[in-house]
Structure 1
Amino acid sequence: MSGIRIENLRRSLEGVVASVLATCDGDGMPNVSMISQVHYVDADHVALSYQFFNKTRRNLLLTKAASVLISDPATMASHRLELEFVETRTSGPLFESMKAKLAGIASHHGMEGVFRLLGADIFRIRSIAEVPFLALQPPPLEPPLLPAVRKSICELDTCTDLDELLDLSLECLERHFGVSHSMILMVDAKERRLYTVASRGYAKSGVGFEAAFGEGVIGVAALENTPIRIGHMTSDYRYGAALADTAQRAGLLSARPAEIAFPGLASPGSQIALPIAIGKTVSGILFAEAEEVMRFGYDDEDALAVLAGYLGAMIELLREDEDDASEDAQPADTQSGTSIAAQLHQADQSVFLDHNYLIKGVAGAILWKLLREYVSTGRTDFSNRELRLDPGLRLPVHSENLEARLILLRKRLEERQAGIRIEKIARGRFRLVVESPVTLEEFAGSGGAGIPVANI
């Protein structure tokens, strides 16, 4: 191979300028076609998008050889890659990453529904040669990203609790990376869903928004434990209520489930989702988006992946520290004022305050336990340890981040301003603050409908 390295040509692999693929049949007859995507794999391999079974495909399977012309969208400098076919992948992280990227390219060119990835063809790079061409002047160099990563990690290293870590992470994205719209979601391993615990740059925080594994760039990144990046947004990876509305009209849903809307940009040009993980275990997703197209390139992906990996290590470290608290409890003073009506719907553990949806799932079960204890005994002070050991909450011992659930619950209560708050009073300890008398009622159903089963 020549001295040219594919790592230095990654801007030519973004799909802004279509690549040209040349193959030959068994008799040496050439065939030339346009290809949507050449994807960087590693220093020795690239992947080509397999979309149609045509003459090109037959030639590849026969000769195992191909030549690809790639062009830099900023300078139009071109290079020829001589490739050797290795294998085709039809699932897994690489396939899903290319699938998402291709969907964005198709949307940009008005070809949604036409460009569909059938497989990711893996090729070994045999040689790289520069193609003589009157190239344009290169654009000004982008600020290096390594200093941004270093500054962010140095700041995050001072965090002493998860709440501080989450908010400061998104602040660092804005100050050091110039990313104004971002959020962090944590994994509910049992339900295979993610829930938003922190966001920045949006009119509404969206704390509590949920995405299923495999849904949108966020869900696919979690499912495959791989970064997912789209430079031209596509409806294939949008979030919203449209699918639920369609299902309800078709009779597949009897009623819209209680939910919190996705807080993201109405018309994003670019999105990126990166796993927050320790090894093969994904604990969350770092998500960012921008109005500009092609905002996040390969270098951004690398830098943010390092930051997301550091977050994974910090989250695990802070989770281990949660059990350092004592379990003191204090009775509360008698409250007065307009009463707060709280309802629990047992099927999905959704909690409503004065008949307005607040939260569901594990966070809902935690709030209901706290409210029951408060109404029964007047107790206000609790510890993370007792919640973790409570069999009624059914928390997995190691896979569930209790602190993240409490952060989610605290932020949702703050947004609602319904007279109930959670305040942290020490490491692993918090206080339930109730400003008015509370009445509790439980229902057997879910989502705001059901049969009353208990009044407390």
Structure 2
Amino acid sequence: RHAAQRLAAAADLESLLEAMLASLREDFDVRHAMVLLLDGGGRKLFTLASCGYEQSGVGSEIPLGEGVIGVAAREGTPIRIAHMTSEYAYGRAIREAVAQGGEADRLETEIPPPGLAESRSQLAVPIGAGRRLLGVLYVESPQDLRFGYDDEDALVTLAAQLGLAINLFRDAAEGAAEPLPAQERRRRVAGPPVTVRHYAENDSVFFGDDYLIKGVAGAILWTLLRDHEAGRSSFANRELRLDPRIRLPDISDNLEARLILLQRRLLERGACVRIEKTGRGRFRLCVERPLQLVDVPAGTRP
């Protein structure tokens, strides 16, 4: 009941994710968890939030149908495993399964998925809205028999509430009619320039030699950086949804989730760029160092 009340009190997608993870820790004593969303192409899930791991794994990708998470998503049913050994640690098991299938290029190798080295209990629950899959809620534990039928029932119920709220916040953020403020004069920045490379082959973005992100999120970041170079700093979700440079794969792809992913990756990597929310469906791009943007044409892989 307390967890449901927490989710209902969330004001946006970011606070919804924080409420879900806090409830797992404090109401269910679950210390290791992830929330993954399905990308618009419907072939993989990306980690949007996690707790309890040394590395958050935000931005890591899991192919549909691979491992406990991928199978739960593909079949649309909860999967609960009570006994595990270290050889089934999630990140390693996923990599081995994909590599053996000859499809290693499907897996995001630059951002390892989080996971316990000694995971002995796992529970993956699909997140949906109506009949549409949105993602997966995943929890694990180093204890055998940690999750029972009651835990499964509770998380299925919360995942249903989570799915409805994700849909609601997506529509609210991308349908917001608040006008953009007048473009602010950009603050002059100092220091040695940072080279930012964008590879058109897969929309991967590097700050110097440090990999940041790829795919749709990479295309969004590159678009924002190019517009910032041209003098802009304020943006709206709605205009990004319609921007042909981003090539969002599907109208149902959650743009707000992509922006949260970008915001967290930029913060985790200590990049000189950050995203600040300025209102419903609006945000600001803040740049703290001079940037040298380099667009690498298609056909060249990083």
* Structure number having the greater strand percentage: 1
Q: 1:246 to 1:189 in 2, by over 3 A?
A: closer
Classify the secondary structure of the residue corresponding to 2:167.
Answer: helix
The counterpart of 1:407, out of the listed 260, 264, 268, is 260
Task: Give the structure 1 partner of residue 20 of structure 2.
Answer: 169
Task: Give the structure 1 partner of residue 130 of structure 2.
Answer: 279
* Identical counterparts, % of pairs: 47
Would you say how many aligned residue pairs link Structure 1 and Structure 2?
A: 296
Q: Does 1:350 align with 2:182?
A: no
Task: Give the structure 2 partner of residue 363 of structure 1.
Answer: 217
For the aligned residue pairs, the C-alpha RMSD in angstroms reads: 2.3
Q: 1:360 to 1:336 in 2, by over 3 A?
A: same
Cα distance in 2 for partners of 1:179, 1:257 equals: 26
Shift of 1:425: 1.1
More displaced 10-residue stretch of structure 1: 307-316 or 229-238: 229-238
Classify the secondary structure of the residue corresponding to 1:239.
Answer: helix
Cα distance in 1 for partners of 2:209, 2:98 equals: 22
Q: 1:242 to 1:363 in 2, by over 3 A?
A: closer
Q: 1:441 to 1:247 in 2, by over 3 A?
A: farther
Shift of 1:228: 1.0
The counterpart of 1:437, out of the listed 287, 290, 296, is 290
- Name the amino acid aligned to 1:278: A
Q: 1:359 to 1:296 in 2, by over 3 A?
A: same
The counterpart of 1:320, out of the listed 163, 171, 178, is 171
Structure 1, unpaired ranges of 5+: 1-149, 450-456
Task: Give the structure 2 partner of residue 341 of structure 1.
Answer: 195
Task: Give the structure 2 partner of residue 389 of structure 1.
Answer: 242
Cα distance in 2 for partners of 1:446, 1:300 equals: 48
Name the structure, 1 or 2, with higher relative contact order (CA <8 Å, separation 6+). 2
Q: 1:416 to 1:237 in 2, by over 3 A?
A: closer
Shift of 1:378: 2.1
The counterpart of 2:159, out of the listed 293, 308, 313, is 308
Q: 1:258 to 1:327 in 2, by over 3 A?
A: farther
Q: 1:220 to 1:253 in 2, by over 3 A?
A: closer
The counterpart of 2:116, out of the listed 265, 277, 283, is 265
8 Å contact kept, 2:36–2:135: yes
8 Å contact kept, 2:89–2:118: no
Task: Give the structure 1 partner of residue 91 of structure 2.
Answer: 239
Shift of 1:171: 0.5
Classify the secondary structure of the residue corresponding to 2:80.
Answer: strand
- Name the amino acid aligned to 2:224: L
Q: 1:233 to 1:253 in 2, by over 3 A?
A: closer
Q: 1:276 to 1:246 in 2, by over 3 A?
A: closer
Q: Does 1:152 align with 2:35?
A: no
Shift of 1:401: 0.5
Cα distance in 2 for partners of 1:188, 1:397 equals: 9
Shift of 1:448: 5.4
TM-score, scaled relative to structure 1:
0.61
Q: Does 1:417 align with 2:237?
A: no
Cα distance in 2 for partners of 1:266, 1:369 equals: 38
- Name the amino acid aligned to 1:190: G
Q: 1:447 to 1:296 in 2, by over 3 A?
A: farther
The counterpart of 1:380, out of the listed 229, 233, 238, is 233
Q: Does 1:197 align with 2:48?
A: yes
